[in-house]
Amino acid sequence: MIMGKQKKKREIIVQIDGKEVKAAEGMTILEAAQKADIFIPTLCHHKKLEPYGACRICTVEVEVRGWKSLVAACLYPVERDLVVRTRSEKVDRIRKMILEFLLAHAPCSPQLQELAQEYGADQDRFEKESSFCILCGLCVRYCAEVKKKNAVGFVECGARREIRFIPEIAATECVNCKECFELCPTSYLQAAFVLTQALAFSTDSSSTASTK
Ligand code: SF4
Ligand code: FES
């Protein structure tokens, strides 16, 4: 045995939308599809971050040895005999419903609007509860996993859950960074607004800034 050498990953052939795709063991369906230029929409995925599975817009239909199910492509690993359908009546129906729900929170998001058009989502199906944030966690996870700063985090639970910049950290770290703004699928400007609010409170460590 040769020590210190990484074991080569087994190659797995999967079928995505009728096309045979070569994938390495451990890859997700999303990674295999992207490698083969097959598009699957995502809202909470980023290649530098650990998979999170929050938005479910990447839902696809899979079939393995006769068993069919709906899974999140960004989380589900490829396996032998896997057949994937990235578009089907069921998949489109789920994506449409997810978009209708998300649009109630972020009705002005160009990314959501574009997807809504693709899937025929009704932008007014649910009562608007505009908070701009769809809780995808991209900003929070990017700051923690890539920048290792934890300047932005989630606060509260359930319907009150929202992001918040930590004023003390934001004051020193965010002004020259702002890399998370670009990642937000809903509103760059709103994120900037939340940060500005946090910075306004950064001189008083007992204060916190609200996102609303
Ligand atoms: S502010 Fe934007 S990037 Fe951050 S969790 Fe909300 S939607 Fe995602
Ligand atoms: S991209 Fe897969 S759950 Fe969000």
Cross-strand pairs, 13: 22
For 181, phi then psi, to 5°, come to -55, -45
* Count of Cβ atoms closer than 10 Å to residue 84 Cβ: 25
Q: Residue 50's pLDDT is what?
A: 96
Report the nearest-CA residue for atom 6 of ligand 1: 133
Residues of the chain with pLDDT under 70: 1-6, 188-191, 193, 201-212
For 155, phi then psi, to 5°, come to -130, 160
Task: Please state whether beta strands 67-72 and 152-155 pair in parallel, antiparallel, or not at all (unpaired).
Answer: unpaired
Q: How far apart are CA 104 and CA 121, in angstroms?
A: 11
Q: Is the CB of 58 under 6 A from ligand 2?
A: yes
Cross-strand pairs, 64: 67, 82
- Is this structure's pTM higher than 0.85? yes
The single-letter DSSP state of residue 182 is: H
Q: How far apart are CA 71 and CA 53, in angstroms?
A: 10
Going from the Cα of 51 to the center of ligand 2, the distance in angstroms, rounded, reads 8
